[in-house]
Amino acid sequence: MKFTIEAISEEGRLGLLQTAHGVIHTPAFMPVGTAGTVKAMTQAMVRESGAEILLANTYHLMLRPGAERIARLGGLHRFMSWSGPILTDSGGFQVWSLAKLREIHEEGVIFWSHLDGARYELTPERAIEIQHLLDADITMVLDECTAWPTTKEDAAKSMQLSMRWAERSKAAFKEREGYGVFGIVQGSIFPDLRVESAEYLNTISFDGYAIGGLSVGEAREKTALMLNATTPHLPKEKPRYLMGVGTPEDLVDAVLSGIDLFDCVLPTRSGRTGQAFTRKGRLNLRNARHAEDSAPLDRACQCPACTSYSRAYLHHLAKSGEILSAILLTTHNLHYYQDLMADLRDAIRRNALAAFAAAFRGGIRNDGPEKS
């Protein structure tokens, strides 16, 4: 797996990540295809939004349809008919947030499925094996998601367990051309733990470094602080991935701090609940003020939802609970996120990232009639 940095503006980096299934232009946003589908989208729609890489969830896929089954069917790319790169998480976060019950041991985690209560064991070695079976271009180490709130002592213990699991994960990973494995920095909201974690992962040497535990609870508010504490301790020449973040504003801030990869359910989940992101702010399409508005969601957007349909129609669909509402709003939100990433890449290329970020914040925060 090869990562090339082509330009730098502030801490922001314009990069090219070459994987077995194709190239990713960074900073990049990965739509979340939890169970092997980006919800409410066909794979052609995801591709047309500009996405070059998807994230899929090991936890969901190991439960249903099962990693061995996907391997027998030719791997996840072939199974879901997505020819581009795929990053899989390790299942750690989902076990923590979705499983009915779980027990954490040094060896790994035992959990009971939220689908049928069946018992599963996930060790660092099994998490890597599953991701090999799925044929993920980018594999993530198994980590423990530190609870929130937490004491520093508990956060340290949790982080140190994650570091031992990271070492076992790396040992289990099979090197192949175009494939890579990323370590995950933990340490909750404690800068010195974050530094310790980053430096420890550095000694193991990964193809990329993720920053975990910042999409949970109040830790979100400390994201900028944690990034600024952590990134100086990560190798400059490797890609950096901020897991589970975030809003458009979060993405701009994190790119300014030197992050290269993002994933978040926000654009897709919002699309299924009548929410749209626009260049002027967010819209709730269920709001009655859209009922006779013949304008598109976002006049500057060239997506199929904006070029063919009015806010009035989208309001009608959202109020009626029609599937087309989820399809069109998800389509638009993914286009919006991909357009934002393209604008950020362009700003770095022009060495104008700070000016772009300032203009973006000014535009998005206006309180004109577009806000809902």
Instruction: Summarize as ranges the residues that interact with its own copies (CB under 8 A).
Output: 35-37, 39-44, 64-65, 69, 72-74, 79-81, 291-292, 294, 304, 308-310, 312-313, 315-317, 319-320, 322-324, 326-328
User: 368 preceded by cis ω (within 30°)?
Assistant: no
3-state secondary structure of 111: strand
In sequence order, what DSSP letters do the residues of 348-363 get, joined into one string? Answer: HHTT-HHHHHHHHHHH
- Rounded distance between C-alpha atoms, residue 33 and residue 265, angstroms: 9
Pairing of strands 119-122, 109-112: antiparallel
263 is a catalytic site residue? yes
Q: Smaller CB distance to its own copies: residue 46 or 255?
A: 46
Q: How far is CA 187 from the centre of its chain?
A: 19
- Is 89 a residue of the active site? yes
Of 135, 263, 298, 339, the catalytic one is 263
With beta carbons less than 8 A apart as the criterion, state whether 189 and 222 touch.
Answer: yes
Q: How far is the CB of 118 from its own copies (least distance, A)?
A: 15
Taking the least distance from each CB to its own copies, the nearer of 41 and 301 is: 41
Closest distance to its own copies from the beta carbon of 87 (Å): 20
Among candidate residues 220, 201, 360, the one with its CA nearest the CA of residue 277: 360
Q: How far is the CB of 295 from its own copies (least distance, A)?
A: 11
- Nearest CB to its own copies, comparing residues 83 and 205: 83
Burial 274-313 (b: 16+ CB within 10 A, else e): bbbbbbbbbbebeeeebeebeebbbeebebbbbeebbbeb
Tell which residue, 358, 361, 252, has the closest CA to residue 27.
252
Both tokens assigned to 262: 């993002």
Classified as helix, coil or strand, 276 is strand
The Cα 16–Cα 239 span in angstroms is: 9
In angstroms, give the least distance from the CB of 274 to its own copies.
15
Minimum CB separation of residue 201 from its own copies in Å reads: 34
Residue placing its CB nearer to its own copies in the complex, 78 or 152: 78
For the CB of residue 312, give the shortest distance to its own copies in the complex, in Å: 5
d(CA 260, CA 263): 11
Q: Cβ closer to its own copies: 73 or 225?
A: 73
Structure tokens belonging to residue 49? 């939004």
Amino acid at 354: A
Shortest separation between residue 61's beta carbon and its own copies, angstroms: 9
Cβ closer to its own copies: 163 or 306?
306
The torsion angles phi and psi of 325, rounded to 5 degrees, stand at: -60, -50
Answer for the pair 297, 328: CB distance below 8 angstroms, yes or no: no
Beta bridge partners of 206: none
Nearer to its own copies, 86 or 328 (CB): 328
| Residues marked as catalytic | 89, 263
